[in-house]
C-alpha cells in the first residue's frame, strides 16, 4: 500500500541484508524513496551526498557502530538536522540514554514491526517538516525585525502581510502574545482548533488554554521565561478548548525582540491528538505483544495437554488479575466441564464441574464457532443471557465474565473464561484482544499435544509391529524352514533312488517340486534378511566402500564370467556404515545389473561417486556431508512410471520364466539405505539401461533417532 503523499528520501543503515531487504520492500511500498548502506562509513558518505530526510540506523555494525555514526552525522553542518532513529535489539536504559545523547530522536526495538516503523517514520517526518516551517517563520520574523530597524513603514507593511497570511492558515493556531503573555492576534486556525472567536480571546492571558493543574503550577509563565532566555521553547501536552474539551498539542513559542528589547511572543499550536492516540495504541500493542510472547512461550513449553491447559489458566489469571480463569471443554453430547482452573483463595472451585447443555445451548455454540467474544461487565444487568446460565454462574458468585472460543481445525473445542467474583468489571479492548490471541495459541498448543499423542500411539503400534515382525522372523527361521528342508531332502532321495523307475512325467514332477522348494527357500531367506535389517543390524564403523565392492565382485566372479560382463569402479569414499548391509546393498544392485541384461550384449556396470554440498537434500542427515553413489548399467531398463513399484516387496516387472528372483532385492536395498538416513532412487528408460542413485551421509555417529 502506498501511503506517502510525497516521495520522502529515507536512508536505511544495517549490516544485515535480510533486514535491509524487508525494510526496503515495505517502505518502498509505502511510497518512500529508499537509500541503503551496510556500514557506518558508507552511511556518512551517502548522507552527506544525498541529504535524506530521515535515517534509520542500526546500532551494532562492523567498523564504526551506530552511536559513532550518529555522533559524526550530528557533527557535520550538512547532516546535523537530519532525524536519526535507532533500530536495535538493545533494550537497556543506558543504551537508550546514550543514543539520545549522541543526537537520535527515537528508538525502534527489534524485531521490527511494520506498523510501528511506519508510524514512527511518518511522525518524525511530520515533526521535521513542522520544525522547518517554524524555523522559516522565525527567520521571516527576524528579517522583519531587521527591516523595522531600517524603516518603520516597511516593517508595518511586512507585518500586515504576515498577519493576513497567518489568518488564512487553518491547520495551525498561530497567534501573537505581548511581553506579559496576553493575546494580541488570532488566526483562522486558532479559531478552529481552540473554539474562540478573535473578539472573545484577544486581550486575555494565554494561560486560559492550559488545564487547571498546569496554570496553578505556573507552567505557562515558565514557558515564556524559557522562550525569552533561549529565543524559543517547544512543548507537548494537554490544552483546553473553549467548550472544556481537551486536545494534545504540539506548541512552539518564539520570543520577538526589537531595539527596545522583548516585544512579545509568537505562538504556534497544532492539534496532534490523533498522533498521540496512535502512539499510545502502538505502546499498548507493544505491551500486548510482549505479554503475548511471554505467555505463549510458557504455554508451548509443554506438549502434555494437562500441562498446557493448566499453564494457560495460571498465566491468564496473573495477567488479568481475575478472581477465576478456567477452560471449559465441550463434549459430544452438548454438555461440558471445566478441565483446567486457576482460582483465588476464597472463591469456589469449578474444576471438574459438569455444565448441563442448557448453559451453552446450540445457538450459543454456533456463535462461538463463528468467533464471537462475550464480554459481560455485570451479570445482573445483562439482558441477552439465558436464565439457566445466570442461575448456574450465581452458584459460583460470578459478577462479570469474559469468554473467548478455542477453535481447533474449524471445530469448537472449548472456551477460555475469565470470572470476576468480587465486583462487576469492564473488560477493556486490550484485555479482550490479548485473551483472543492467547485462545488461538492454546488451540495451536493443543493441536501439537494431540499430534504428539498420536505420534506416541503410532510409535507404540510400530514397536508392536516390529515385535511381531521379529516373532515372524523367529517362526520363519525354524517352523517354516523345517518342513521345507524335509521336502527338499525327500525330493533328493526320490531323485536319487527312483530316477530310473519313474517315467519322464514323474521326473518332471519331482523337478518342479524341487524348484518350487528352492524358490520358497530363497523367498524365506530374503524375508529374513528384510526383517533383520533393523532388528539385528550391526553398529556403525568406518567402511571403505572400495573394499566392499572388491569383496562383492569376488562373490560374483562366476556370474561375471558367465555373462561376459565388465564392472568399472571409480574412486569411492570411506563412510560410516554397517559393513554387512553395505555389502548386501551393492551385491543386490550389481547382481541385478548383471541379471537384467539385454540379449546378445554383455553387461557393463559403472560405479561412480561424488561428494555433494547440499545436506538439505536429506532432512535427517543432521547437516552432515553427503556422498552420492551411482550404479549404472546397459541392461533392459524399465519404464519410469514403475519407479515406486520396483522398491516394494514382492513386486516384479518381469515373469519368473524370463528372470528369476523373489521381488525382494530392491526393497532390501531401499530399507538398507533408509536405515542409514539416506535415499535410493533410479533413472531409466526401456531398453536404455538403468541408473540407481544412492545418497548417504559420509559421517554419522549412530542410527539411533
CATH number at residue 97: 3.40.50.2300
- Of residues 629 and 380, more confidently modeled: 629
| CATH code: domain of residue 306 | 3.30.450.40
Mean predicted confidence (pLDDT) in 34-59: 91
Q: State the pLDDT at residue 545.
A: 93
Residues 666, 590: one domain? Answer: yes
Q: State the pLDDT at residue 657.
A: 46
Residues 106, 165: one domain? Answer: no
Residues 141, 191: one domain? Answer: yes
Of 56, 61, 67, the closest CA to residue 94 belongs to: 67
Question: Is residue 463 one of the residues assigned to a domain?
Answer: no
pLDDT for residue 23 is more than 50 = yes
Residue 291: CB atoms within 10 A of its CB come to 17
Residue 569 bridge partners (DSSP): 607
Cell output for 347 = 472463591
Helices (H), 17-151: 17-29, 40-50, 66-75, 93-101, 114-150
Q: State the pLDDT at residue 535.
A: 53
DSSP classification of residue 7:
-
Residue 107: CB atoms within 10 A of its CB come to 17
- Of residues 452 and 649, more confidently modeled: 452
DSSP classification of residue 205:
B
- Return the beta strands (E) in 458-597 as ranges: 541-544, 566-569, 574-577
pLDDT for residue 403 is more than 70 = yes
Question: Is residue 452 one of the residues assigned to a domain?
Answer: no
Residues 641, 683: one domain? Answer: yes
Of 1, 53, 42, the closest CA to residue 20 belongs to: 42
Residues 259, 323: one domain? Answer: no
Residues 314, 248: one domain? Answer: no
pLDDT for residue 622 is more than 50 = no
Question: Is residue 206 one of the residues assigned to a domain?
Answer: yes
Residues 90, 144: one domain? Answer: no
Q: State the pLDDT at residue 170.
A: 64
Rounded to whole angstroms, the Cα distance separating 421 from 428 reads: 17
Coil, strand or helix: which one is 258? strand
Question: Is residue 247 one of the residues assigned to a domain?
Answer: yes
CB 323 within 8 A of CB 399: no
pLDDT for residue 574 is more than 80 = yes
Mean predicted confidence (pLDDT) in 510-538: 65
Express each pLDDT in 364-383 by its tens digit. Answer: 888 888 888 888 888 888 77
Mean predicted confidence (pLDDT) in 45-68: 90
Of 270, 462, 193, 483, the closest CA to residue 201 belongs to: 193
Residues 170, 247: one domain? Answer: yes
Question: Is residue 640 one of the residues assigned to a domain?
Answer: yes
Last residue of a domain, one of 393, 424, 443: 443
Least confident window among 208-222, 361-375, 478-492, 514-528: 514-528
Of 641, 613, 639, 644, the closest CA to residue 627 belongs to: 613
Least confident window among 308-317, 408-417, 480-489: 480-489
Contacts 24+ apart (CB under 8 A), 376-382: 376/400, 376/401, 376/402, 377/424, 377/425, 377/426, 377/427, 378/424, 379/424, 381/424
Rounded to whole angstroms, the Cα distance separating 544 from 579 reads: 9
Q: State the pLDDT at residue 546.
A: 93
Q: State the pLDDT at residue 506.
A: 78
Q: State the pLDDT at residue 4.
A: 46
Band (632; pLDDT cuts 50, 70, 90): very high
Rounded to whole angstroms, the Cα distance separating 408 from 330 reads: 12
Question: Is residue 583 one of the residues assigned to a domain?
Answer: yes
Rg (alpha carbons) of the chain, rounded to whole number = 42
Alpha-carbon separation of residue 181 from 202, 208, 510 (angstroms): 11, 11, 127
Cell output for 500 = 530310473
The phi and psi torsions of 329 (rounded to 5 degrees) equal: -110, 125
| CATH code: domain of residue 557 | 3.30.565.10
Residue 644: CB atoms within 10 A of its CB come to 9
Express each pLDDT in 668-681 by its tens digit. Answer: 888 888 888 899 98
Residues 346, 375: one domain? Answer: yes
Residues 255, 371: one domain? Answer: no
Rounded to whole angstroms, the Cα distance separating 678 from 673 reads: 5
Question: Is residue 489 one of the residues assigned to a domain?
Answer: no
| CATH code: domain of residue 186 | 3.30.450.20
CB 373 within 8 A of CB 350: no
Structural domain count of the chain: 4
Residues 559, 607: one domain? Answer: yes
Q: State the pLDDT at residue 520.
A: 66
Mean predicted confidence (pLDDT) in 398-418: 89
Residues 675, 558: one domain? Answer: yes
pLDDT for residue 472 is more than 90 = no
Question: Is residue 518 one of the residues assigned to a domain?
Answer: no
| Cell 537509500 sits on residue | 35
Q: State the pLDDT at residue 103.
A: 87
Give the domain range for residue 97.
9-112
Express each pLDDT in 151-205 by its tens digit. Answer: 666 556 666 655 555 554 567 888 899 999 999 988 888 888 899 998 999 999 9
DSSP classification of residue 504:
H
Q: State the pLDDT at residue 225.
A: 92
Q: State the pLDDT at residue 210.
A: 93
Q: Which residues contact 380 (CB under 8 A, 6 or more apart)?
A: 399
Contacts 24+ apart (CB under 8 A), 527-530: 527/473, 527/476, 527/664, 528/473, 528/476, 528/477, 529/584, 529/664, 529/668, 530/649, 530/664, 530/667, 530/668, 530/671
Mean predicted confidence (pLDDT) in 576-602: 86
- Return the beta strands (E) in 191-258 as ranges: 232-240, 246-258
Amino acid at each position: 500500500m502506498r501511503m506517502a503523499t510525497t516521495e520522502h528520501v529515507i536512508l536505511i543503515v544495517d549490516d544485515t541484508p535480510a533486514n535491509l531487504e524487508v525494510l526496503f520492500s515495505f517502505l518502498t511500498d509505502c511510497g518512500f524513496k529508499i537509500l541503503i548502506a551496510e556500514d557506518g562509513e558508507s552511511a556518512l558518505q551517502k548522507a552527506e551526498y544525498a541529504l535524506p530526510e530521515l535515517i534509520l540506523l542500526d546500532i551494532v555494525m562492523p567498523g564504526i557502530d551506530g552511536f559513532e555514526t550518529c555522533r559524526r552525522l550530528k557533527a557535520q553542518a550538512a547532516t546535523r538536522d537530519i532525524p536519526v532513529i535507532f533500530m536495535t535489539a538493545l533494550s537497556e536504559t543506558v543504551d537508550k540514554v546514550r543514543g539520545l545523547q549522541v543526537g537520535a530522536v527515537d528508538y525502534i526495538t527489534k524485531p521490527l514491526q511494520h506498523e510501528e516503523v511506519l508510524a514512527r517514520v511518518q511522525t518524525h517526518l511530520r515533526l521535521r517538516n513542522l520544525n522547518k516551517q517554524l524555523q522559516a517563520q522565525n527567520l521571516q520574523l527576524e528579517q522583519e525585525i531587521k527591516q523595522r530597524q531600517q524603516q518603520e513603514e516597511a516593517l508595518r507593511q511586512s507585518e500586515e502581510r504576515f498577519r493576513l497570511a497567518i489568518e488564512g492558515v487553518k491547520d495551525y493556531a498561530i497567534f501573537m502574545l505581548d511581553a506579559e503573555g496576553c493575546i494580541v492576534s488570532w488566526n483562522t486556525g486558532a479559531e478552529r482548533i481552540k473554539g474562540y472567536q478573535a473578539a472573545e480571546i484577544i486581550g486575555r492571558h494565554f494561560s486560559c488554554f492550559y488545564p487547571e493543574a498546569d496554570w496553578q503550577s505556573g507552567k505557562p509563565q515558565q514557558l515564556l521565561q524559557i522562550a525569552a532566555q533561549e529565543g524559543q521553547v517547544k512543548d507537548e501536552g494537554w490544552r483546553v478548548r473553549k467548550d472544556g474539551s481537551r486536545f494534545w498539542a504540539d506548541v512552539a513559542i518564539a520570543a520577538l525582540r526589537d531595539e527596545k528589547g522583548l516585544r512579545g511572543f509568537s505562538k504556534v499550536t497544532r492539534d496532534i491528538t490523533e498522533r498521540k492516540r496512535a502512539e499510545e495504541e502502538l505502546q499498548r500493542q507493544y505491551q500486548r505483544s510482549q505479554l503475548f510472547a511471554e505467555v505463549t512461550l510458557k504455554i508451548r513449553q509443554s506438549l502434555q495437554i494437562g500441562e498446557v491447559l493448566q499453564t494457560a489458566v495460571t498465566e491468564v489469571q496473573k495477567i488479568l488479575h481475575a478472581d477465576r480463569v478456567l477452560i471449559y471443554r465441550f463434549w459430544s453430547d452438548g454438555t461440558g466441564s471445566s478441565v483446567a482452573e486457576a482460582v483465588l483463595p476464597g472463591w469456589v472451585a469449578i474444576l471438574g464441574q459438569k455444565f448441563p447443555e442448557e448453559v451453552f445451548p446450540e445457538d450459543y455454540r454456533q456463535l462461538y464457532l463463528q468467533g464471537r467474544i462475550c464480554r459481560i461487565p455485570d451479570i445482573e444487568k445483562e439482558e441477552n443471557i439465558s436464565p439457566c446460565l445466570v442461575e448456574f454462574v450465581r452458584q459460583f458468585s460470578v459478577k462479570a465474565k469474559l469468554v473467548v472460543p478455542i477453535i481447533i481445525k474449524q471445530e469448537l473445542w472449548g472456551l477460555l473464561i475469565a470470572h470476576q467474583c468480587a465486583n462487576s468489571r469492564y473488560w477493556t479492548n486490550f484485555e479482550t484482544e490479548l485473551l483472543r490471541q492467547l485462545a488461538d495459541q492454546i488451540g495451536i498448543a493443543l493441536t501439537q499435544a494431540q499430534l504428539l499423542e498420536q505420534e506416541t500411539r503410532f510409535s507404540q503400534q510400530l514397536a508392536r509391529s516390529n515385535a511381531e515382525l521379529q516373532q515372524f522372523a523367529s517362526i520363519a527361521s525354524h517352523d517354516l524352514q523345517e518342513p521345507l528342508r524335509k521336502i527338499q531332502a525327500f525330493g533328493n532321495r526320490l531323485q536319487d533312488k527312483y530316477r530310473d523307475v519313474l517315467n519322464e512325467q514323474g521326473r518332471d514332477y519331482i523337478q518342479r517340486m524341487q524348484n518350487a522348494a528352492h524358490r520358497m527357500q530363497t523367498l524365506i531367506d530374503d524375508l529374513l534378511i528384510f526383517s533383520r535389517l533393523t532388528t539385528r543390524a550391526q553398529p556403525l564403523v568406518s567402511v571403505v566402500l572400495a573394499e566392499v565392492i572388491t569383496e562383492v565382485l569376488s562373490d560374483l566372479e562366476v556370474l561375471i564370467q558367465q555373462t561376459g560382463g565388465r564392472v568399472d569402479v571409480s574412486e569411492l569414499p570411506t563412510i560410516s556404515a554397517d559393513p554387512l548391509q553395505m555389502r548386501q546393498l551393492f551385491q543386490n544392485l550389481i547382481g541385478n545389473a548383471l541379471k537384467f541384461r539385454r540379449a546378445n550384449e554383455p553387461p557393463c556396470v559403472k560405479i561412480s561417486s561424488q561428494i555433494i554440498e547440499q545436506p538439505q537434500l536429506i532432512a535427517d542427515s543432521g547437516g552432515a556431508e553427503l556422498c552420492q553413489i551411482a550404479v549404472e548399467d546397459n541392461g533392459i531398463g524399465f519404464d519410469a512410471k514403475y519407479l515406486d513399484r520396483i522398491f516394494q516387496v514382492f513386486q516384479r516387472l518381469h515373469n519368473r520364466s524370463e528372470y528369476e528372483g523373489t521381488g525382494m532385492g530392491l526393497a532390501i536395498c531401499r530399507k538398507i539405505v533408509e536405515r542409514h538416513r539416506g535415499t535410493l532412487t533410479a533413472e531409466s528408460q526401456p531398453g536404455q539401461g538403468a541408473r540407481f542413485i544412492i545418497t548417504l551421509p559420509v559421517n554419522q555417529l549412530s542410527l539411533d533417532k
